[in-house]
Every structure is written in structure tokens, then in C-alpha cells.
Amino acid sequence: MLIAISGYVLFAVCVRLLRGVFSIYEIAAFRSLGAIAFCSFLVARKPVILDDLRSIDLKFHVARSALQAAGTLAIVSSIALVPLGLVSALEFTGPIFAALFVFILTRSLPDRLSWLGLAAIFFGAGALVMQFLGGVGFAILLPILGTATLTMTNMMLARLAARHRSTTIMLVMAVLQLPIYLLGAFVWGKGFQFGGVGPLQLGAVAGVALTGFATQMALANATRYGSDLQVSALDVLRIPAVALVAYTVFAERLSLQANLQILLIMLGICILAFIRKR
């Protein structure tokens, strides 16, 4: 999970550096291209992965990849528009959606201690949304919408991880998502105009491409060893890491009230993480 956390922090910084230079579709396309490049390299080194590719359920992969693309675009948009500390905190509403989806599918409810953690996350996130809705606007809902979608795809990923290699899953997803991002880039975006792009922005493009593979691979491996609810709550260190980087690099400072609400979310996450260790 440390790789996933580091990758997320780097991705957030790179997206901010590319804001105004490339559209969200182009940024997402860079991410997919990086994943395709790294996965193709691994396939070349281990041709046995080709056998795994031949046994995939294409319809299931298409459905998951389309949902993942929608969630990714929502998260990229939120990183570009919303203070990073808020984005990282609101993304931890994932356990709420995981519990909801599990109930819909299995009619099973969390235990009492889990309810306490979920309640802390719910009230902390709700307070943040109400506080910033007037200033940030409805963009404050983007990380929550993206998280709800990605939580669903993470549950689908758990099914795939039991049948296929992580490299296979990442490669198929990246290949299926790339046409979506390319279409958006040329229809609604800027069409990959590199004129006037400086070394810093080019480095950010490389960073986006690198993190696309690293974070997804780390997540795919994590889902092999934890439940949907647990995986959603494990990387609590992401919140202070992103907040520190946002303050240091972009001078984004949240109020004491907002930090207390974020701490309430972190408390809920810690409760859920404690359940995993029992």
C-alpha cells in the first residue's frame, strides 16, 4: 500500500501541474499509455501471460473498464478543481459505498464496530461537503462520485484478481480505456497540443504515466489479501501525505474546522483498519 500511497501523491501533484495545459481526457490517456507500456514490457519478459489473456471474460472487462474510466475522470477533475486535502479525505468515503454494495448483493450488514467507523466517515465527509459547497461549488461532490464508482470497480477487481494475473487485468483495462480517453481528448479536450509545454510539464506527463501502472498494480495485489471494506480503509496515511504536499507545494491550507472534520474521517478509517487486525 505504500507504493499506492506514494503513487497517488505523485499523481495528484502531476495533475495539478498539468491543469490548464492538458484536459482531463488527455491526462487520463497518458495514464493508460503508461500502463500499456509497462504491462507490455512485462508480457515480453513473461510470454506465459499471453495464455492468461486468452481466457479473459471480455464483457466483464469492458463493463469494469468503462466504469473505471468514468470514476477516473471524476477523480482527475476533482484533483484539478478541489483543494487536494479535501479530495484525499473525501475519497475515503469508499468504505461507506463498499458496505452499501455488499448489502445490496448479499444482504449482509457490517458489525457494530464497523458501524461506528462508517458513521464517523459519514458525518466527517458530510460536514466537509456542507462547509465547502458554497465556495467550491458542486465540484466538491466529484471525489465522492468518483469514489463510489471506483469502489464498485474495486469489488469487480477482487473477482478478476482471483482468476487472472495483475498484469493481465491492468493491460486489458488500459487498452479498453484508451479509446474512451482519446475520443474525449479530441472531441472535448485540446487534442494533445504540446506546443509551449516546458520540461516541468513533460516531467509531470511522465509522472502520470508511471503512477497509472504502479498504483493500479499495488491495488490489484492488495485486493488479493483483504475484503472490499478493508482495502477501502487501509491507506489512511494518504490523507496527511497529500495534505502536507498540498501545503508545501501549492500553499493550500485548510481551516481548523476542516482539519477536525478530516480527523473524524481518519478516526473512522482507523476503526475499520483495526477490525482487519483482529
At 216-272, the pLDDT tens digits run 666 666 656 656 555 555 567 788 889 899 999 999 999 999 999 999 999 998 888
Pull the grid cell for residue 74.
Answer: 471524476
Pull the grid cell for residue 214.
Answer: 504502479
DSSP 8-state code for residue 22: B
Decide if 28 contacts 181 (C-beta within 8 A).
yes
* 260 closest CA partner among 124, 135, 132, 136: 124
Q: How far is 186 from 275, CA to CA, in rounded Å?
A: 46
Q: How far is 230 from 209, CA to CA, in rounded Å?
A: 27
Structure confidence by residue, pLDDT tens digits, 45-98? 888 788 888 888 889 999 999 999 999 999 999 999 999 999 999 999 999 999
Q: What pTM does this model have?
A: 0.89
198 φ, ψ (degrees, to nearest 5): -90, 175
